[in-house]
Structure 1
Amino acid sequence: MSDFVTASAAPSHVPVVEGRAIVQDYHIAGSMFNRARTIRALNGIDFKLDKGKTLAIVGESGSGKSTLARIIALIDAPSGGDLLIEGSKVDITKTRPGPAMRSKVQMVFQNPYGSLNPRQKIGDVLTEPLIINTNTPASERRERAEAMLVKVGLGPEHYNRYPHMFSGGQRQRIAIARALMLNPSLLVLDEPVSALDLSVQAQVLNLLADLQDEFELTYIFVSHDLSVVRYIADEVMVISKGDAVEQGTREQVFEDPQNAYTRQLLAATPITDVEAIRARVARRQAARAAMATPA
């Protein structure tokens, strides 16, 4: 069962995910005292991301970053624009995506305490996506779930336990395991470590890095914490009031920001102890450099 998490294959020249002029409007109904109005949350966002890369979407609360994440994760339909997954246009304005498309994109939410059903055993949490979306036999479902628990740093003995028996960091590992059960090519991670202590953040980020390296996963990583983004992102998109005010590689955005809003975010970012993250990323970069060097 060692290959059960292999990400969906896509031609190397086709982005895993691409957004073209993504717009999201929210219509507010009128009342006796207020007129009906429309609020634009996203104003024509463009982006693309290749296999095995991480795009960090950053911005203040209310900037539109979580709205964009929910569209990419196929949870909400955009008001306009095109979303492509592995080169295929996704039309979720008329009908919900089928299992084949939905299995390619999974989401991990911010709150590890609220994202798991407290009445479900962990084994049921992990096997439920297989029951809903596949015809996997019951015996294989359990085998895959137990193997996935090992992949995220837990064990088969946790299969029959309940969420309240785990810490926040362990629950987030379980949420990541659940997201991987359908072999997605893209994970949308909405503030996945913001509710965790700093030491636990580093552990979960290291786990995500390991899974990405092993299975060539592609990540959309939503965060307001630039001290974390700096050490995990390949590319960065800065959103303000629904507009992508700056996009570029991590080095471009952090070392030579072009937009005043980006510079304000960087200046307001507290310096935190991210040595564990720094060391992990340094090892990844060294490994990639060694692989790229001809023998």
Structure 2
Amino acid sequence: MSEIVLEARNLVREYRTAGNFFRKEKVVRAVKGVSFKVERGKTLAIVGESGCGKSTLARMITMIDPPTSGEIFIDGEQVDISKGISKELRRKVQIVFQNPYGSLNPRQKIGDVLMEPLVINYDLPASERRHRAMEMLKKVGLGPEHFNRYPHMFSGGQRQRIAIARALMLNPSLLVLDEPVSALDLSVQAQVLNLLADLQDEFGLTYVFISHDLSVVRYISDEVMVMYFGECVEYGTRDEVFSDPKHEYTKTLFAATPRTDVESIRARLARKAAARAA
């Protein structure tokens, strides 16, 4: 049987808005009874428009926010923030954020950024921390010459590589990727996605990949969950969801996605060239 790394059961997350003289206190349900499982070495893509609850779900998975109700299991261990989370469990789940410019401390050298998780979690000599950081830089396509540079000296794609390297320093089981390529140029997106695929194969990583870009999701996912107003409205393998969507919202998402018909573009350009030649 396949090993389940992450399991969510009927997750609910509510937020209370403060009331005043003119308005009563309200309860807003950002996530409404969401359940799913992710097998080791696989990628679950969570898709939906802004405000559908994707990032709220990511915050629960990464133990930043507790669910109002429901259960989360990581490697079979139940997550209960109210009882305290062990360092070992926290090390198993790491996150890469959307903005590569805001996720790195501008005053820290890159070497210090990578070594910081080791300082917090392990009692290692400085030479071992430095060696591990250097090795991880190589894994993400950077070199030892980058070790003592500051974040402002890197491009957006390079910064996202550094953020990925930092997330992998603790050898996690699960990596949550919250719109990790949406702030990057298309050519750089492809490079980062290929890097993520290579790292997944090398380390046996499990991904929860949050995105609104269906072309990216189609490339990287094994399973897809579509969210709409805090609910899971469609859930299945990538091929099932993309080839035969069941829910009307999923169909609307696909219909709104820009498509590139290469043959029609070539034909149009050929007609224009012929018209100019005539």
The bucket for the TM-score relative to the shorter chain is: over 0.9
Please give the residue correspondences for 1:47-126 in structure 2 after superposition, counting only pairs within 5 Å.
47-92=36-81, 94-126=82-114
Structure 1 gaps of 5+ residues are 1-11, 274-295
Per the alignment, residue 151 of structure 2 pairs with: 163
Per the alignment, residue 35 of structure 2 pairs with: 46
State percent identity of aligned pairs: 69
Per the alignment, residue 163 of structure 2 pairs with: 175
The C-alpha deviation readout for 1:243-283, integer Å capped at 9, x for no partner, is 0000000000000000000000001111269xxxxxxxxxx
**C-alpha separation in 2, matches of 1:136 and 1:178:** 17
**What is the Cα-based RMSD across aligned positions, in Å?**
1.1
1:43–1:242 contact (8 Å) kept in structure 2: yes
Aligned pair partner of 2:238 in 241, 247, 250: 250
Per the alignment, residue 9 of structure 2 pairs with: 20
1:227–1:271 contact (8 Å) kept in structure 2: no
Which AA in structure 1 matches 2:74?
Answer: I
Which AA in structure 2 matches 1:35?
Answer: K
The C-alpha deviation readout for 1:49-86, integer Å capped at 9, x for no partner, is 00000000000000001110111111111111000000
TM-score w.r.t. the length of structure 2 is 0.92
The aligned length equals 261
2:16–2:26 contact (8 Å) kept in structure 1: yes
Secondary structure of the corresponding residue to residue 16 of structure 1: strand
Secondary structure of the corresponding residue to residue 48 of structure 1: strand
**C-alpha separation in 1, matches of 2:101 and 2:86:** 28
2:2–2:40 contact (8 Å) kept in structure 1: no
TM-score w.r.t. the length of structure 1 is 0.87
**C-alpha separation in 2, matches of 1:134 and 1:74:** 20
Runs of 4+ in structure 1 deviating by more than 2 angstroms, as ranges, are none
**C-alpha separation in 2, matches of 1:96 and 1:122:** 31
Larger Rg: 2
**C-alpha separation in 2, matches of 1:210 and 1:14:** 21
Determine whether 1:137 maps to 2:125: yes
